[in-house]
Amino acid sequence: MDDTRLQATPLQADELRNMDRFWRACNYLSAGMIYLRANPLLREPLKPEHIKRRLLGHWGSDPGQSFVLVHLNRVIKQRDLNVIFLSGPGHGAPATLAHSYLEGRYSEIYPDRGETEEGMGRLFKLFSFPGGIGSHCTPETPGSIHEGGELGYSLSHGYGAAFDNPDLIVTVMIGDGEAETGPLATSWHSNKFLNPARDGAVLPVLHLNGYKIANPTILARIPHEELEALLTGYGYKPWFVEGDEPEKMHQQMAATLDECIDEIRAIQQRAREEGNTQRPRWPMIVLRSPKGWTGPREFGGHKIEGTWRAHQVPVADPASNGKSLKLVEEWLRSYEPEKLFDEAGRLVAELRALAPEGPRRISANPHANGGALCKALDLPDFTEYAVDVPKPATSYVSPTDVLGQFLRDVMRRNMTSFRVFGPDETASNKLTAIYEASQKTWLAQIVESDSDGGDLSADGRVMEMLSEHTLEGWLEGYTLTGRHGLFATYEAFVHVIDSMFNQHAKWLEKAKRELRWRQPVPSLNLLITSLVWRQDHNGFTHQDPGFLDVVTNKSPDVVRIYLPPDANCLLSVADHCLRSRDYVNVIVADKQPHLQYLDMKSAITHCTKGIGIWDWASTDLDHEPDVVMASAGDIPTMEALAAVEILKGLFPDLKIRFVNVVDLFRLLPDSDHPHGLSGRDFDSLFTTDKPVIFNFHSYASLVHKLTYRRTNHANIHVHGYAEKGNINTPLELAIINGIDRFSLAIDVIDRVPRLRGVGDHAKERLRDQKIQHLDYAHTEGIDSEEIREWKWAG
């Protein structure tokens, strides 16, 4: 096992000394950010009033992160490398902030925190200070595409950044706490999806600093052999850099990094020059260094360095405790700031020379401001994929099947900047046409029997792994570095990534609203499919349309929800989403064959408006309606139309207005969302006093959440998924949740004043029909033909 620790000493004495000084400058700045509100260069003795009134920040992982950054600088300069750095450990921002400040990039973006004593003081003060700088690598952090506020996604983000960036080396520092999360634990397998010929390299650095907030970490407390086996089992070649003596560690790290870069280049050369894309064993580094390295060794009889006590603020009370103040001063002075910074407060020239220049600086690398590199997709004309709809609601087509054809050609025209992601379900979700443009990415073993259905290839651009976390992480990394994609996933299980969605939406909002220097990035497009209303056969666990509730909680600046009722609307929506920037677009569309309502021209008009009256389905032309029948979603729309048809047969003079909603946020007031309708427009659609029967795709309460301030809200009666289901037929599932045609028609009869009494007999017959259909389903196992093939008679 000895060969996993390198003994070479590639650094000359001078080089080593200066690298160590650069590192100490980073550490000085990190500690300064945590403690100081004044006296940043310690030009006078440290006094209580120099200490911040509230001490916040996380010291523990900073020195280890800075250590890696300093060494990355060396290889970047030496070999002119293109490197970005993702900081996985939570709250470890002082290290990256310090480094970007020393590279000069931080002051370029934030001139009020310049490379002067005053600027340094301001950086210190603002860190973890109200209205100031966050303790994670937030969007405000130059060079960051990974905030790390929630743990677990650094490695999948890193791989996402590396795809289709052949020149890039993505260094991902993984905290050993973070490494315990599920998303991180499976994201190691991303190496089975990275093509050394076409993609860049990912260099994971697992940072074993031993402790989380209050506990040791698992990976730091298993035997060396076990850890090595684990990482080997994940498919890597791990190199170990372990110790606490800076001099030895610098030599080890330099030797190891040289070795890793050599291996990466050799792998890439084999793939690119010899055409060998067999899955390589990519190198990685395990850095075992003390938590809070170079910080106070002990205090008050407790060990600090190397323990959980170094995780956050290692010495808690310097403003009120003289001993603590002395210790903090000694600690800060141990870095000898007077030898690191010049009179003006700027890093001395010989150290400045260690950092790369211009865009080679990690904090200035344009890949970490992906919008700057982003090119618009070359999109085919989506209208050419239109489904022929000569008459509304008379033919069945799978919307995602049609979308798949469009996406196939999007893929063909953008073979280095567009990918499709899905958990083993691209085919199941009827997006199969995409495979005509590109196979599925796969660098693990391929066997003969795969080929007749698998279409696996190292060159594939369709990403399938049974981990929604990894897919979402890849796509986030891919879009944040300026490329485009779409993630198609099972509606019930998109909740798996609720939290990732939340974090990405938060990132986009900050970047978009507050950071001019961050260029807009491609939107994250989520296609939610295998919808609740066709999960009748999969049962209760597969029925959950509640992701939309999570989405509506995020800022209206960055979230969009579309429920295209048919294939042509889906095409129009998809085209719009693929052109957009800085949003999370959620598209809800089922994969089964569904009725088609609108020809392409009508679909474009309808989707552009986002909501509208369907005249062809309405009977209120030139009249005040008796009732508004509204719908959002493909199946609810079909049932609502079928209800209209039933009602037309029963009450030929009933005036029904049919409204369909594509863009869900149209329901909100325009004061709450940029897509919201004004009160006047809303009222002109939904009236101010007529009953509205709204058949909704998801939980009914969401429509109320969006419309409660509307004039006519008291008359809006929403039907939606009521958390009732089992193994059913589609109609049975609709009936038990009350979104079926019969229940809707009954509700109309109940709500329209002039039908009360008059409609009693009809209601009874409708109830009987429900029972008959349930009986049929329970005998035959399917819905009756008249239901399965229902069409609009017009």
Q: Which of residues 492-531 bind a second copy (CB under 8 A)?
A: 492-493, 495-496, 498-499, 502-503, 506, 509-510
- 3-state DSSP call for residue 145? coil
Contact stretch for a second copy (CB under 8 A) within 101-109, 342-350, 358-366, 462-470 = 462-470
Nearer to a second copy, 437 or 551 (CB): 551
Q: Which residues contact 421 (CB under 8 A, 6 or more apart)?
A: 463, 464, 471, 472, 474, 475, 485, 486, 487, 488
Pairing of strands 716-719, 627-632: unpaired
d(CA 267, CA 391): 58
d(CA 283, CA 274): 20
Nearer to a second copy, 470 or 619 (CB): 470
d(CA 168, CA 691): 59
Kindly state whether residue 224 participates in binding a second copy, applying the rule CB under 8 A.
Answer: no
Contact 694, 734 (CB under 8 A): no
Kindly state whether residue 242 participates in binding a second copy, applying the rule CB under 8 A.
Answer: no
Kindly state whether residue 544 participates in binding a second copy, applying the rule CB under 8 A.
Answer: yes
Kindly state whether residue 550 participates in binding a second copy, applying the rule CB under 8 A.
Answer: yes
Kindly state whether residue 181 participates in binding a second copy, applying the rule CB under 8 A.
Answer: yes
φ/ψ of residue 278, rounded to 5 = -55, 140
The nearest distance, CB 179 to a second copy, in angstroms, is: 8
What tokens does 122 get?
A: 């301001």
The nearest distance, CB 440 to a second copy, in angstroms, is: 7
Nearer to a second copy, 450 or 624 (CB): 450
d(CA 173, CA 193): 20
Contact stretch for a second copy (CB under 8 A) within 68-76, 537-545, 627-635, 679-687 = 537-545
Question: Which of 416, 445, 605, 608 is the binder for a second copy (CB under 8 A)?
Answer: 445
Question: Which of 108, 118, 180, 459 is the binder for a second copy (CB under 8 A)?
Answer: 180
Kindly state whether residue 792 participates in binding a second copy, applying the rule CB under 8 A.
Answer: no
The nearest distance, CB 582 to a second copy, in angstroms, is: 16
Question: Which of 89, 104, 183, 392 is the binder for a second copy (CB under 8 A)?
Answer: 183
- Checking 710-714 for CB contacts under 8 A at 24+ apart, the result is 710/669, 710/679, 710/682, 710/683, 710/686, 711/679, 711/682, 711/683, 712/683, 712/686, 712/687, 712/688
Nearer to a second copy, 130 or 390 (CB): 130
Question: Which of 213, 344, 376, 621 is the binder for a second copy (CB under 8 A)?
Answer: 213
d(CA 2, CA 42): 44
- Burial class (CB within 10 angstroms; exposed 0-12, middle 13-18, buried 19+) of 322: exposed
Question: Which of 27, 39, 141, 187 is the binder for a second copy (CB under 8 A)?
Answer: 187
Contact 200, 167 (CB under 8 A): yes
Kindly state whether residue 461 participates in binding a second copy, applying the rule CB under 8 A.
Answer: no
The nearest distance, CB 185 to a second copy, in angstroms, is: 4
Kindly state whether residue 464 participates in binding a second copy, applying the rule CB under 8 A.
Answer: yes
Which residue, among 741, 309, 244, 361, has the nearest Cα to 533 in the 3D structure?
741
| DSSP characters over 710-734 | STTGGGEEEE---S--SS--HHHHH
Hey, which residues between 680 and 719 contact a second copy (CB under 8 A)?
699, 701-702, 704-705, 708, 713
The nearest distance, CB 736 to a second copy, in angstroms, is: 10
- 3-state DSSP call for residue 362? helix
Nearer to a second copy, 90 or 166 (CB): 90
Which residue, among 648, 374, 361, 392, has the nearest Cα to 523 in the 3D structure?
374
Question: Which of 45, 48, 112, 229 is the binder for a second copy (CB under 8 A)?
Answer: 229
Question: Which of 334, 538, 580, 769 is the binder for a second copy (CB under 8 A)?
Answer: 538
Contact stretch for a second copy (CB under 8 A) within 76-84, 194-202, 219-227, 593-601 = 219-227
Hey, which residues between 273 and 292 contact a second copy (CB under 8 A)?
none
Hey, which residues between 110 and 149 contact a second copy (CB under 8 A)?
125, 128-136, 138, 147, 149
Nearer to a second copy, 147 or 634 (CB): 147
Question: Which of 344, 376, 444, 621 is the binder for a second copy (CB under 8 A)?
Answer: 444
d(CA 664, CA 561): 6
| DSSP characters over 26-86 | HHHHHHHHHHBSS-TT--S---GGGB-SS-----TTHHHHHHHHHHHHHHHHHHT-EEEEE
Kindly state whether residue 401 participates in binding a second copy, applying the rule CB under 8 A.
Answer: no
Hey, which residues between 298 and 357 contact a second copy (CB under 8 A)?
302-303, 306-309
d(CA 17, CA 339): 12
d(CA 481, CA 227): 32
Kindly state whether residue 37 participates in binding a second copy, applying the rule CB under 8 A.
Answer: yes
Nearer to a second copy, 43 or 513 (CB): 513
The three-state DSSP-derived secondary structure of 764-778 is HHHHHHHHHHHHHHH
The nearest distance, CB 52 to a second copy, in angstroms, is: 6
Which residue, among 135, 206, 202, has the nearest Cα to 175 in the 3D structure?
206
| DSSP characters over 365-397 | -GGGGGGGT--------GGGGPPP-SSTT--EE
Kindly state whether residue 390 participates in binding a second copy, applying the rule CB under 8 A.
Answer: no
Strand runs labelled E in 616-759:
627-632, 656-661, 692-696, 716-719
Nearer to a second copy, 502 or 519 (CB): 502
Kindly state whether residue 237 participates in binding a second copy, applying the rule CB under 8 A.
Answer: no
The nearest distance, CB 709 to a second copy, in angstroms, is: 8
Which residue, among 545, 548, 546, has the nearest Cα to 533 in the 3D structure?
545
Contact stretch for a second copy (CB under 8 A) within 150-158, 328-336, 388-396, 574-582 = 150-158
Nearer to a second copy, 129 or 616 (CB): 129
- Burial class (CB within 10 angstroms; exposed 0-12, middle 13-18, buried 19+) of 424: middle
Which residue, among 28, 51, 54, has the nearest Cα to 295 in the 3D structure?
28
Kindly state whether residue 737 participates in binding a second copy, applying the rule CB under 8 A.
Answer: no
Nearer to a second copy, 233 or 358 (CB): 233
What tokens does 139 get?
A: 């969007």
Question: Which of 47, 78, 218, 771 is the binder for a second copy (CB under 8 A)?
Answer: 218
Nearer to a second copy, 103 or 544 (CB): 544
Q: Torsion over CA of 341, 346, 347 and 352, rounded to 10 degrees?
A: -160
> How many CA atoms lie within 13 Å of 439's alpha carbon, on the beta-carbon side?
16
Binding residues for a second copy, total number by CB under 8 A: 128
Kindly state whether residue 177 participates in binding a second copy, applying the rule CB under 8 A.
Answer: yes
Nearer to a second copy, 36 or 587 (CB): 36
Kindly state whether residue 366 participates in binding a second copy, applying the rule CB under 8 A.
Answer: no
The nearest distance, CB 426 to a second copy, in angstroms, is: 7
φ/ψ of residue 440, rounded to 5 = -85, 140
Question: Which of 546, 625, 691, 759 is the binder for a second copy (CB under 8 A)?
Answer: 546
Kindly state whether residue 537 participates in binding a second copy, applying the rule CB under 8 A.
Answer: yes
Hey, which residues between 47 and 106 contact a second copy (CB under 8 A)?
52-54, 56, 91
Q: Which amino acid is at 305?
A: E
Nearer to a second copy, 23 or 153 (CB): 153
Question: Which of 1, 13, 349, 447 is the binder for a second copy (CB under 8 A)?
Answer: 447
Question: Which of 15, 20, 150, 459 is the binder for a second copy (CB under 8 A)?
Answer: 150
Nearer to a second copy, 302 or 761 (CB): 302
Hey, which residues between 593 and 632 contact a second copy (CB under 8 A)?
none
Question: Which of 7, 78, 232, 278 is the binder for a second copy (CB under 8 A)?
Answer: 232
